[in-house]
Structures are given as structure tokens and as C-alpha cells.
Amino acid sequence: MKIKFQLNQLSAVSEDIKKNINKNIVLISGEMGVGKTTLIKEILRSMNVIDNISSPTFSIINEYNTNNQELIYHMDLYRIKSFNELEGIGLFEYLESGNLCIIEWGDMIEKIIESEFNKFVILKEHELRIIEKIK
């Protein structure tokens, strides 16, 4: 899957991405400012999250409920600097919970997690964004 889109097409793109998620762990990668959080917020809306959706940049992990009583975790690992910090926030317990975990800046854990995962990379090309499913 590879999609070129403009930001005003996020709703349709998020539906396509949702259809391509087939693992409970989803890594979203891309440079600063490419729109990872904005895209994830739209994906969460498409998954019928009933809670207020906000960026986990400072909280690191946000927990959301859907209208089906499912839990989804949205994580932002940008501020994490060491493996000990990952253990300290209980990252591995979240990953093993069986609930959907959508993780920004997931590159840093890609080689250390034992579970299978999906990975999407977002690139910026002029006014367009390109999202590609890598795994």
C-alpha cells in the first residue's frame, strides 16, 4: 500500500490505512512535522473513539475508549531516550495487552519488540504526503 494525499484528504486516507492494519501494534514513522499525530487522530476517529483525542507528546501514552468498549493506546516515543524509560512507562505491558497500540516514532523499538507489527512511513513531498505500508 502506498498513497499520495493532501491533508484535506485525511478522512479517506485514514479509512484506507485502517483497512491495512492487521496487527495490534502499529508503528508510524516520519520526520518531525510530517503529520503523524494529525493522521493518527483521524485514524482514531474512524475507529469510533469516544474520548477526546489529543497528542501524547508529553504524556507519552494516551488511552482511548471506542463505542464498542475497546481500548486503544496512542503512544509518542519522541521524548524517550533509553530502554530503561521504556520499561519505566510499562511499554511492553501495553504491547502485550492485546489492545491496539499506535506508536509514533516507533523506529526506536522496532528491533527490540518481539511481537509482530505493522509499520507505516509518512514522507512529505512538496504539498503532498506519501504514506507507505512497509510491514
Look-up: residue for cell 491533508?
7
- Measure CA of the first residue to CA of the last residue in the chain; give whole Å: 10
Domains of the chain: 2-133 (3.40.50.300)
User: How high is the pLDDT of residue 57?
Assistant: 85
Instruction: Annotate the chain with DSSP letters as a single string.
Output: -EEEE-GGGHHHHHHHHHHT--SSEEEEE--TTSSHHHHHHHHHHHTTB-SPP---TTTSEEEEEBTTS-EEEEEE-TT--SHHHHHHTTHHHHHTSSSEEEEETGGGGTTT--S--EEEEEEEETTEEEEEE--
pLDDT tens digits, residue range 77-107? Answer: 999 988 889 989 999 999 999 999 999 999 9
Cell of 34: 510530517
For residue 7, pLDDT over 90 is answered with no
pTM: 0.93
Are 39 and 7 in contact by the 8 Å Cβ rule? The answer is: no
Percentage of the chain modeled with pLDDT above 70: 100
For residue 127, pLDDT over 90 is answered with no
Mean pLDDT of the chain: 93
Q: Measuring CA to CA, how many Å separate 109 from each of 7, 42, 69? A: 28, 24, 28
For residue 41, pLDDT over 90 is answered with yes
User: How high is the pLDDT of residue 58?
Assistant: 86
Distance CA 7, CA 13 (A): 9
